[in-house]
Every structure is written in C-alpha cells, then in structure tokens.
C-alpha cells in the first residue's frame, strides 16, 4: 500500500527531524560525508526510541576529532530539535570495522543526507 511505503520511507522521522540532521551534518562534517539511520527508528512497528545515526566520513578522524565532531553534531541537533536520545557512530567510509554494532548498522541503514561539496 502506498501509505505504508510512505511511512517506511519516512522511517519514523519527521521531515523536520531530517532537515535538522541535514543542517547539523553540513555544519559539522566534511563534504561527501553521509548520514544514515539505523536501529529502532527503521521499524514502523515500534514507537519512540533513540535516534541512531551512522556517519561515514571520507577521511578517518583522530579520536579527539571524532569525539569533538560527535559532540558538536548532537549539540546542534539538541538546538534544532530539543534534547532527545540521539546516538551517533562515526566511521571512515569503506573501511572494515569489526565492532558488531557497526556491522549491523552498515547492513541495515537508510541514507538521510550527504554533505554537499
């Protein structure tokens, strides 16, 4: 059914949520970084839950950069959306990562935004 597909496409994020994620990503990450949704918000049958985001950057970040960007990105989202439970994983694109949560996130994600050049 069309309505069901539409709900799937929205992934239980509002258009305001997605616009905020796009804006915060542009303000935080380098061009061509991608932001994908994973976790419970992909599941239409569930309610609420954390917003789990997987950010893939073109170049790897140092641990200090990673912590600083993640902090800035989520703080921007707090400003745009109010305080919510938001979890952000940041990994370099195309590199293997043996952490289970990263492997699961990479398998089951929907692209939300790509930071433009």
Partner 1 sequence: MTARDPLVTALWEADRHLTTLESALQDWHAAPASNLVELETDSERLRILDQLLFRFSKLQDALGLRLIPATLAVLSEPFEEWPMIDRLNRLEKLGFIEVDDWLRWREIRSRLAHEYPDHPETRFAAIEAAVAAARDLAVAYRAWRAKLKP
* Inter-CA distances, 93 with 35, 58, 96, 101, Å: 11, 6, 9, 15
- CB closer to partner 1 out of 11 and 90: 90
Which token pair is 113?
């935004």
| Cα 111 → chain centroid | 8
Residue 107 as a binder of partner 1 (CB under 8 A): the answer is no
Q: Is the CB of residue 53 less than 8 Å from the CB of residue 18? A: no
Rounded to a whole number of angstroms, the minimum distance from the CB of residue 90 to partner 1 is: 9
Pick out residues in 39-98 that bind partner 1 (CB under 8 A).
62-64, 66-68, 71-72, 74-76, 78-79, 82-83, 85, 87, 89
Which residues of this protein are in contact with partner 1, per CB under 8 A?
Answer: 62-64, 66-68, 71-72, 74-76, 78-79, 82-83, 85, 87, 89, 99-102
């Amino acid at each position: 059914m069309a309505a069901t597909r539409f709900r799937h496409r929205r992934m239980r994020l509002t258009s305001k949520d997605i616009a905020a994620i796009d804006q915060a990503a542009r303000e935080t990450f380098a061009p061509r970084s991608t932001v994908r949704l994973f976790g419970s918000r992909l599941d239409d049958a569930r309610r609420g839950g954390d917003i789990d985001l997987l950010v893939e950057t073109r170049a790897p970040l140092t641990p200090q950069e990673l912590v600083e960007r993640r902090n800035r990105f989520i703080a921007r989202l707090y400003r745009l959306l109010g305080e919510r439970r938001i979890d952000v994983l940041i990994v370099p694109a195309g590199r293997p990562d043996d952490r289970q949560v990263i492997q699961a996130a990479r398998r089951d994600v929907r692209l939300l935004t790509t930071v433009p050049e």
